[in-house]
Amino acid sequence: MAGPTRTCVGCRKRAPAIELIRFVAAGTGEDLRLQPDPNRRLPGRGAHLHPDPACFALAERRRAFGRALRLTGVADTGLLAEHIRTALPCGTTDDTAAVAAS
Ligand SMILES: [Zn+2]
């Protein structure tokens, strides 16, 4: 069954939405940050990224986060980076990722 597809802001490839991490911008002004949204429930404009550090690095280098989310300032990427570092593809949860990493 084909679900919706989204474009990864890192490698710019389209992929099934379930294979990508959704994230949104949270906070304002000096406290702007990228908030991972694994449950896809947070309101607001979201963007998608493969759970892959290479895609994260690409997106950061291209300043794709700000463009995808229409940000005017520079957002802190720490939360999202941490999420991607601990996430595994193929729909595994954070719990199993933590076990696999230990
Ligand atoms: Zn990607």
pLDDT tens, 56-83?
999 999 999 999 999 988 899 999 999 9
Residue 97 has pLDDT above 90, yes or no: no
Locus of tokens 């990228």: 34
In the chain, what percentage of residues exceed pLDDT 70?
Answer: 84
Q: Which residues surround ligand 1, an ion (CB under 5 A)?
A: 8, 10-11, 50, 55
Q: What span, in angstroms and rounded, lies between the C-alpha atoms of 9 and 56?
A: 8
Distance 54 CA to ligand 1 centre (A): 8
Instruction: Say which amino acid occupies 101.
Output: A
Model confidence, pTM? 0.81
How much is the average pLDDT of 25-43?
91
Give strand ranges (E) for the chain: 5-7, 14-16, 21-26, 33-36, 46-49
Residues 6+ away with beta carbon under 8 Å from 6? 14, 15, 16, 17, 20, 22, 48
Residue 95: its pLDDT value, please?
52
